[in-house]
Amino acid sequence: MYKKMSKKKKQWTNKEKFVIALAAIQNTETVAELSRRHHVAVSQVYAWKKELLENGEVAFEGKNSKAANKNENSTKVTEQLYAKIGQLTVEKDFLQRALGKFPESDV
């Protein structure tokens, strides 16, 4: 009896994908050569190349983008808090007026 050998697929790291896609963009060697050298399908090299070209700008977002997102979130939270303060102020004023209609109240 023979045991079947299970073939485990290689898991590529993001760095490996980036290096292969970058080499494909640079055209220092053909996609077929890259495919053979790195033992990856030609279609996969094209897919990684396309992904890098379409989403490469994300690498340059850096701190400025993170700060802008944090600032936007901070602004939203501030607006929500001001809205809540306004609501509570209106409710407090209403209750004070309603309580003032009773003769025994000490407000």
Q: State if pTM tops 0.75.
A: no
Instruction: Look at residue 70 and tell me if it is in a domain.
Output: no
Say how many domains are in the chain: 2
25 and 49 Cβ atoms separated by less than 8 Å: yes
CA 80 to CA 87: how far, in whole Å? 11
Helix axes 42-55, 14-26, angle to 10 degrees: 90
pLDDT for res 6? 62
Instruction: Look at residue 6 and tell me if it is in a domain.
Output: no
Q: Is the pLDDT assigned to residue 78 strictly greater than 60?
A: yes
Mean pLDDT of 4-33: 86
Mean pLDDT of 21-50: 93
Mean pLDDT of 9-31: 90
- Domain residue limits at 25: 11-57
Confidence of residue 80 (pLDDT cuts 50, 70, 90): very high
